[in-house]
Every structure is written in C-alpha cells, then in structure tokens.
Structure 1
Amino acid sequence: MSAINPEASIPAGEWTHSQEEDHDDILVYRPATSFPFPPTRGGRDSLRVSDDGAITALSPGPDDRPRPTGLRAGLDPTSEGVIVIEVNDHILKIRQP
C-alpha cells in the first residue's frame, strides 16, 4: 500500500479504533456512530476530527467514556510521522512509526 496525498481530508466526526482489523503496522478506525463494533474489555481509543481538520486523540476514561488525551497536528507524514493509507466515509487506515 502507498500513502495517499497527506492533504486528503479526513471526514469530520469521531473515528473509533477497530483493533480487530489492524494488521502489520496499520491501525484501522471506523465511524463511531455507524459501525457495529464488537464488545471489548479494554475500551477503544478514538480520534475526533473537527470541521476545520483539527484532530483530538481520545482514550477511555474510568467510566469507559472517551476522554481527550491530546491534540494532534494532523495525520500526515510531516506532523507526527503518521501516514494516512486509506480514508473514506467508512474507514480510516493509518500507519505510525
């Protein structure tokens, strides 16, 4: 797989980590509101993408609700070494070093 244009926009909304679909060094995220995630004991990390493209990382809090853990500059190779592999309305695949 090759990286897509780093300026490709990620649809706004909340993207939840679908760790069951991860492979090799690719992390898979799905829309939080429309994907039927199977139950998990450890909770799921998420990314919240605002309309202006800002990305906030979320992790499960003590009551399992997502809590902000930090602001990401963007998912592209120049910001934090993250490469967007695939993105559309149904899936977000990224690679982190």
Structure 2
Amino acid sequence: MRYRLLAGELPDPRPQLGIRDGRGRVVAHGDLGHEPERVLIEYEGRQHAGFEQFGRDVDRCSPVAADGWLVLRFAARHAESPTVVVERTRRAPVSRGRRPGSP
C-alpha cells in the first residue's frame, strides 16, 4: 500500500501511526496515516474476515472515527488496482481541509 501511494506521488504516510486519546495515550495503531489531516489508511487482509477479528476491528475503528479520524479501508482487490488506492487517498486530505497540491 505504501509503495502504491508513493508511486502515485502522494505524501509518505507514516506506518503504524499511533492514535492518541484526549489524554495523550496511544489507544490504537493504524497501518498507515497522515496525522495532521487525521487520515488513516488500513489494509484489511484475509485475516480480518473472521468473526472475532472483524469485531476487534470495529471496536478499534469506530472510536477512532468518532474522534475525528477519517479511516480509509482497503482490501486485496484494491491493492491490485493502484488507481483506486491512490485516488481515494488523494481525495482524503482535501476532504480534511488541505488544498490540492499542498504538502
């Protein structure tokens, strides 16, 4: 995913971005992310399809989203189509207030 984003000339996302609560405690980690815009990029592999793991993912992602983070979730079929990953990720910072073309 990170390679696809960099090849698409997007800013380098931070891997394993720690998400902090209001007290500064790390409460979750995102696969990749852009902290200033509060955008997380998650790759949901096959292991996320199981009942237990899916529930843990919901428990992790929902509070993060409720705290103002935009969570972009991708699966294997998206990774095979880099255009989808790049274009969705390119639009995310704009939706969070960054002007197109700014770093």
TM-score band by shorter chain is under 0.3
Answer 1 or 2: which has greater helix percent: 2
TM-score using structure 1 length:
0.27
Larger CA Rg, structure 1 vs 2: 2
The structure, 1 or 2, with the larger RCO (C-alpha pairs under 8 Å, 6+ apart) is 1
